[in-house]
Amino acid sequence: MPEWWPIQNQGAVDPPAASDAIALFRLLGSGPQGISAPEAASRLVSFGHNELGDDRELPWHRQLAMAFNTPFNYLLMALAAVGLISGDMAVVAIISSMVAISGGLRFTQKFQSGKAASRLKRMVHTTATVIRPGSNSAEVPIWMLVPGDVVALAAGDLIPADVLVLSAKDLQVNQASLTGESMPVEKIKAPSEPLKSPMSHLNPLEISWLGFMGSSVISGSGHALVFRTGKSTHMGSIAKGINARRGETAFDRGVNASSLLLVRFMLVMVPVIFLINGITKGDWFQALLFGVSVAVGLTPEMLPVIVTANLARGAVAMSARKVVVKYLPAIQNLGGMDILCTDKTGTLTQDKVVLIRHLNIDGSESALVLRHAYLNSFFQTGL
């Protein structure tokens, strides 16, 4: 975001945005016809993409490193290092191969599923209708929107950024993702002159001429001026308050608990065995080798391979049912659910209205009923 950009406050609506359209036009260097394509491209460089986060796939080398980033692998690698120091190459070879197989399986599944998810994402293009000077309109990807753009809104559209409504015709918006209220709210045209009393003390969601990223148009139509995009939006401020770090799952806790238990056993038993063996036999090098052997015997080297192989097998089985698994432990998490609450979407249904019959008051098919229904649907603008 450039230094000159005056809209910085994330927690409340800025006075220009809450007052009138003329002030916001002046602030953004825009107008009722929006901004030109070259100006939009320049602002895109300054403001960045209209996205809440960076969803790009990690480089393969970082994914490879993360595949080995487990407490149990650290334990095995520590034992392999001790074996290398003591010269027990058989132990080093066995442990290293187990770590390599486990990490390799995890990396392969993560990398392939990431590529599949990226291909699916590229197939879905969410666009917005942007007004350009000269009475032209263009469909542009939502991530390319910048402050100063004027967008057209219609029933079924997502509000692509934080906007000020310039015109509205029976515009009803669902803000449930922001407020939790299922009933739509009406949006009206913003005043063209400054208000007599300031509105900065109000909850921005209560101002009827402001729309916010994450809400959707239920019915009606209108035009709106984009004044915040990406992480600067109201939705972006909410996203910042959510810890993006993945929480520890029951699967992770189980593996970590097993690793810590084995570490405790080794920390207690190996030094004791090493000291007793060295004191009684006087050969401290052989005592060290025996201690390493005990540590290796306490460690189930095949556990990471078995766990990863089973999760990978589950991922392959789910891929046969057209399910992409990006995070292997998610399989165990899904299997551990008692109740799953989800909403039915157009992906599960046909995502279209199907006409089955058109009946009159007597229960007979009537072309007149169909004609009136068509006219009502054609001219309807509100709920």
Question: Mind listing the pLDDT tens digit for each residue in 251-306?
Answer: 777 777 877 787 787 778 888 888 888 888 888 877 877 777 777 677 776 677 77
pLDDT at 119: 67
The DSSP letter of residue 144 is G
Reported as a single tens digit per residue, the pLDDT across 106-127 is 787 777 767 766 666 666 678 8
Query: Is the Cβ–Cβ distance between 207 and 151 less than 8 Å?
Result: no
In this predicted structure, the answer to whether residue 42 has a pLDDT above a threshold of 60 is: yes
- Alpha helices by DSSP H, the chain: 15-19, 21-28, 37-47, 60-67, 71-86, 89-123, 176-179, 234-240, 250-281, 284-298, 303-319, 329-335, 367-379
More confident residue, 91 or 138: 138
Which pLDDT band, with edges at 50, 70 and 90, does 201 fall under? low
3-state secondary structure of 173: strand
Threshold 0.85, pTM exceeds: no
Distances (CA, A) of 112 to 60, 106, 310, 312, 319: 11, 10, 17, 11, 11
Mean pLDDT, the chain, as a whole number?
78
More confident residue, 345 or 61: 61
Q: Report phi then psi at 311, rounded to 5.
A: -65, -40
More confident residue, 185 or 326: 185
Question: What single letter denotes the amino acid at residue 103?
Answer: G
In this predicted structure, the answer to whether residue 77 has a pLDDT above a threshold of 60 is: yes
What mean pLDDT is predicted for residues 68-94? 78
Residues labelled catalytic:
343
Query: Is the Cβ–Cβ distance between 311 and 330 less than 8 Å?
Result: no
Kindly list the structural domains of the chain, giving each domain's residue range(s) and its CATH number in brackets, ordered by start: 15-50+145-240 (2.70.150.10), 60-121+246-335 (no CATH), 353-383 (no CATH)
In this predicted structure, the answer to whether residue 380 has a pLDDT above a threshold of 80 is: no
pLDDT at 28: 85
pLDDT at 6: 45
Among 10-14, 318-322, 347-351, name the one with the lowest average pLDDT.
Answer: 10-14
In this predicted structure, the answer to whether residue 44 has a pLDDT above a threshold of 80 is: yes
The most confident of 141-155, 188-202, 248-262, by mean pLDDT: 141-155
pLDDT at 7: 45
Question: Which tokens is 108 given?
Answer: 């392969």
pLDDT at 225: 92
pLDDT at 5: 44
What mean pLDDT is predicted for residues 350-363? 81
In this predicted structure, the answer to whether residue 152 has a pLDDT above a threshold of 70 is: yes
In this predicted structure, the answer to whether residue 78 has a pLDDT above a threshold of 50 is: yes
Reported as a single tens digit per residue, the pLDDT across 221-232 is 899 999 999 888
pLDDT at 321: 82
